[in-house]
Chains A and B, each alone.
Chain A
Amino acid sequence: MLRYTFERTIYMIVTLWVIITLTFFLMHMIPGDPFTSEKRVPEQIRQNMLAKYHLDKPLIVQYGYYLRNLLHGDLGISLKYLNRSVNDIIKAGFPPSFQIGMQSIILGVSLGLVLGIVAALNRNGFWDYISMILAIIGRSVPNFIIATLLQFWIASKLRWLPVSGWGTFAHTILPSIALSFASLAIISRLMRASMLDVIGQDYIKTAKAKGLSSTEIIWRHMIRNAILPIITVLGPLIAGIVTGTFVIEKIFGIPGLGKYFVQSIYNNDYTMILGTTIFYSTILVLMVFFVDITYGLIDPRIRLGKGGR
């Protein structure tokens, strides 16, 4: 296990390095520089600014500088937000995004699992259709529509919860719900398909022939075998959602990380682009690692370590 973790860590670092390198060079291929949008800056000042951020140096030298700073854990100074380091911005923006993200994941995944299981057990029945309708809504209706509908009915009309803003737990409820629809849709469909697959397996017949009740069969024999595909999508899903979403955070006025992913690109905010990319990739790569570990816990056939095998 230790050896496996070590090997995986090396792979993760290599993966990250590839991502950083690709992003770095691709980013510099975008026409313009961070100061193009600032109109009528005297050429001399412009040159000074470029020099300050080492942007006048050859690309490969800049790349070297960046990697050196990165090794010290320094993502650099944002080129757009004056005097704020990328580290600070992420540190400030991540907690709200993380909270909303995790809440929506917990909500979406648990509801999705229940719906998927119920749908599979009542194939072509009432609950199957309910779950299918919910899944179609979740997949096809953009979350900003769900968000605004929630704001209108729950917050504005019924006045149960605040419309937007940040501060108390009440503020986090609506965005979490709005965000959870997508994961609910994915998880419920996937769990349904996976459960149907397991229901047809021979070992379910064996379990029934043992005299187990349906509930016992579902809990002990079906769910654990059916949940593997869910774990697979859960990694990327979590990574994508906890790092913030542009639209939902904008609508509910959450001081999260989402907007930096988008704005940094049209601002040509080089350090910010790299910073957010690295941050997201790290979380993604870590999640994939956890997924692989979890696999082994759930399915002994893919268990790792213990001297290989």
Chain B
Amino acid sequence: MGKKEVLLEVKNLEYSFDTYAGEVKAVRGVSFEVYKGEALAIVGESGCGKSVTMHAVMKLNPEPPGRLKGGKIIFDGKDITNYTDKEMQTIRGSEIGMIFQDPMTSLNPTMTIGKQIAEVILKHQDVAKAEAMKRAKEMLDIVGIPNADKRIHQYPHEFSGGMRQRAMIAIALALRPKLLIADEPTTALDVTIQAQILDLMKDLQKQFNTSIIIITHDLGVVADIADRVVVMYAGKIVERGTIDEIFYHPQHPYTWGLLRSVPRLDAKKKDRLVPIIGTPPDLFAPPIGCPFAARCDYAMKICYEAPPEETCESDTHNVTCWLKHPYAPKVTNPFEMGVAADE
């Protein structure tokens, strides 16, 4: 496929929150990159640090208590790790757009939709108000909201949930950013609307050649939109690879568990949903070894004692697991796979 251009590179990112009870090590050495024009999915259960990571890139975590402890963030060739809030303001909204989980609360209830879209245009470009409103209207057309002429003068409460998420996308993409970060964009929507929003995002990704990072815990969403997947657990990346690699040849026991826990349409009536037993580790005092060891069916002594290194399965597929060590017993994914990514 040839060497693709890297848009965002996160190197060994460490992020903590200082609370009264102590330091919560939310992100502990996360590295990944996003290529131009691709869609990367970050998956993991609640509290695994996926949102914190992306908020850290945008510097949206409240600081304090949040604190960037280490690592590098390189966006479009610029090292933005130590950018001040003022410098970040030039990037937020214009070069990186962001949409959030709950469209019901993500729009200002006292401002018209048109003004909220125009605001981001006016902030970053030297255009007249009327021009900005005209472009806001065009954006509403693009994201598929009918009667945009009328709609720009309406308030968020006059929009349905799906339409509000469309409006959010209009805000995020108004300036054709190079990167769109979507933080669980479909979690709060019902299923038919989810599909529409994902389709819209895919369309616009092609149209504007935007890279997308989608944070989600919904593997269905991942299968639908992503080119590559990063699986996070307890503030670390456990496995990453292309969508086919993750769905058809998963290597990490956590990824196996995740895929197995997806409800299946072809399941028999008596089959129960399969959870991953146990709870994630306490991030006040993360385990020294592999964070997943306590819940892992294949945990060995070493797993509790030292953190595993990342190993390469292929150019694009990396796993962080002791089972990949040459001396480890050979364990293969015990579950029939590939169903979730089918179709």
Contact = CB atoms under 8 A, between A and B. Distances in A.
Contacts of A205: 60, 100, 106
A299 B110 contact: yes
A224 B115 CA distance: 15
A122 to B, nearest CB: 13
Interface string A273-298: 00000000000000000000000001
B108 A221 contact: yes
Interface string B162-177: 0000001001100000
Of A213, A216, A221, A300, the most chain B CB neighbours within 10 A belong to: A300
Of A207, A211, A298, A300, the most chain B CB neighbours within 10 A belong to: A211
B89 interface: yes
A207 B60 contact: no
Interface stretch (B31-39, B119-127, B139-147, B292-300): B119-127
Contacts of B98: 206, 209
Contacts of B102: 202
Task: Place the interface of chain B in its size category.
Answer: 20 to 34
Given A211-B90, A211-B91, A213-B89, A206 B109 contact: no
Nearest to B117: A210
Nearest to A225: B110
A220 B119 contact: yes
Given A202-B102, A205-B60, A208-B60, A213 B86 contact: yes
A301 B94 CA distance: 30
A206 B168 contact: yes
B109 A210 contact: no
A212 interface: yes
Interface in A164-215: 201-203, 205-214
B92 interface: yes
A207 B110 CA distance: 13
A contact patch SS: helix
A225 B155 CA distance: 14
Given A211-B120, A220-B111, A206 B89 contact: no
A216 B93 CA distance: 14
A212 B124 CA distance: 9
Interface in B74-99: 85-86, 88-94, 97-98
Given A206-B171, A301-B155, A211 B92 contact: yes
Interface in B292-317: none
A61 to B, nearest CB: 54
B106 A211 contact: no
Contact of B109 (A203, A213, A220): A203
Contacts of A202: 100, 102, 105-106
A211 B124 contact: yes
Contacts of A299: 109-110
A203 to B, nearest CB: 4
B27 to A, nearest CB: 18
A34 B119 CA distance: 66
A29 to B, nearest CB: 49
Interface of B: 58, 60, 85-86, 88-94, 97-98, 100, 102, 105-111, 119-120, 123-124, 155, 157, 168, 171-172
Which 4 pairs across A and B sit closest by C-beta, in order of nearness?
Answer: A211-B93, A211-B92, A210-B93, A209-B98
18 contacts: A201-B105, A202-B105, A202-B106, A203-B106, A205-B106, A206-B168, A206-B171, A207-B108, A209-B98, A211-B124, A212-B89, A212-B123, A213-B86, A216-B123, A299-B110, A300-B109, A300-B157, A301-B155
Given A210-B119, A210-B123, 8 more contacts: A202-B106, A203-B107, A205-B100, A206-B106, A206-B107, A209-B58, A212-B93, A300-B157
